[in-house]
Every structure is written in C-alpha cells, then in structure tokens.
Amino acid sequence: MGRDTSVLDDTLGPYTASMLVYGPGYPSIHPGNYDHVFGTQYNSVTKYVSSPIGGVTFRLSAALGGQPGSIVQSSSFDGGISYVAGPLSLGLGAQREYGVNGGDVLLQPQANPFGLSGNPLSHQDSYGFGGSYDFGFLFAHALITQAHIYGSGSIGRTYEVGMKSKFSPFLIFGLNYNRTLVRKKAGMGIISASADYYLSKTTDLYFLVAHEDVTGTSASGAPMVAQMVIFSPSSGRSQTAVHMGVRHLF
C-alpha cells in the first residue's frame, strides 16, 4: 500500500512503446495520457496480484482519494487479467476513475479534444486489450484502448502497433505508430522511431524522433493544434520532436 501505478498500467503498459525500456518514450504517449496507460501514479494504492494459474494472473487495485465525506472523489478502481505462454503475452485491463481526466493535465486547451469534466465526482471509464510476441530477432506489440469521459461526453479510442529489432547484441531499433480518434471531434496520429546502442548492460546511447499530425477541433470547437506529451503546443496541425542522450539503469 502506498504511492504506486494502477493495475491498468501494470496490465497494459507492456504493450505500449512509451512504457517499454527501448522505446520512443514520452513523445509516443497517447495524447495527454487520456487513457491512463502510461505510468500514472496514485496515492494510497492497494493492490492484489494472484499467483499465476496456467499462465493467467489476476490483478485488482484501488486508490482512494482521501477526500472528507466521499469514498469515491479522486479515487480509482482497477482490474486486469494477463496471460503469458512462452513468447506470447496478452493483457486485458479496465479502470474507473473519479475526478480530473489525464488529458486535462497534460494537454493545453487548444490541443485538447477531450474537454474538462468540470465535476470532481464525474467519472471516466478506461479499458484496453494488448498483446506481444517475441520472435527472437523481432519483438512485436499491439494495443487498443478506449476511454469514456462522462463529464464532457467525449469518447476516445487509440490503436497502437510497434516493434523492436535487435540488429546486434549492442544495437536495437524500434518503430511505433498510434492513432487516436475522438468521436465526432478529432484525430491524432503519432509515429516514432528509436535507436539504442548499449555501451554496457546498464548504460546506452539513444536517439529518437517522433512526429504527430492532428485533424478536427478541440473541445472548444477551435481547430486542433498538435501537442505531444512534455512539449508545448505547436502553432499548427503537426509537430516533430528529436531527442538523444545517455541512459543508465540502476
């Protein structure tokens, strides 16, 4: 019990590039992390994880908001099932969260098609299904998520596919694409590529490039502009980011 990620993250994170160590990282996070798949941290998290039974693991979590007079305000309740059989991995997760939608926090209004909930007791339902297969020379992953933000009435759905390939024991390339559709409002697509060169088992040089294109309108009805997570909004409908550095794992 304590500050931790939710079961939704634990179950679906292995199938999104933003949560994979090799990955294109932050620029490939689904817009605004609206579906809460990328490592969202919660306070007062209680988790239950079963022992694997025939490759199947069950997970439950609850994060209580600690608001006086309300057990649900700013709280989150999650469930997930994962299955692992050799190189095959599958995961199914769902979450109900009360309070602020992640897109409100990580997107500026001109880049936000999801809208504000406007009510701390309004809830959001997020769920998804993902899978991966390790061919040895190639690791492939795919994920579908959907979130219904009841306060604003928005429904978003994201389709994601990606891969990484080990060209040598030291050099790994990754490629990923995700497409998010917000019903009757907007579309956002992010393609990203990365390269990792390992200097040792714990230290690598990495390079990544990501590009986003958007269509449609924001929640206010104004034309959408592009904004990848951790960056400021673009002045237009596309945005490109390049990132390189040295990473050390402890």
Looking at residue 150, its pLDDT comes to 86
Looking at residue 249, its pLDDT comes to 80
Looking at residue 214, its pLDDT comes to 97
What is the span of the domain harbouring residue 167? 2-248
CATH of the domain at 167: 2.40.160.10
DSSP string, 15-42: GSGGGSTTS--GGGS-GGGTT--S--EE
**Which among 111, 73, 85 has a CA at the least distance from the CA of 230?**
111
Paired tokens of 39: 């490592």
Looking at residue 104, its pLDDT comes to 57
Looking at residue 116, its pLDDT comes to 67
Q: By the 8 A CB rule, do 129 and 92 touch?
A: yes
- Rounded CA separation 17/209 (Å): 13
Looking at residue 24, its pLDDT comes to 53
Looking at residue 117, its pLDDT comes to 54
- As a residue count, the chain comes to 250
**Which among 7, 246, 16, 11 has a CA at the least distance from the CA of 143?**
16
First to last CA, the chain: 23
Task: List average pLDDT for each run of 10 residues in the chain, which is 250 residues long.
Answer: 82 86 73 86 86 96 75 84 97 88 72 74 88 94 94 91 91 93 94 91 90 94 93 95 86
- Rounded CA separation 42/75 (Å): 9
Q: Which residue in the block uniquely carries the two structure tokens 């700013």?
A: 74
Domain count, the chain: 1
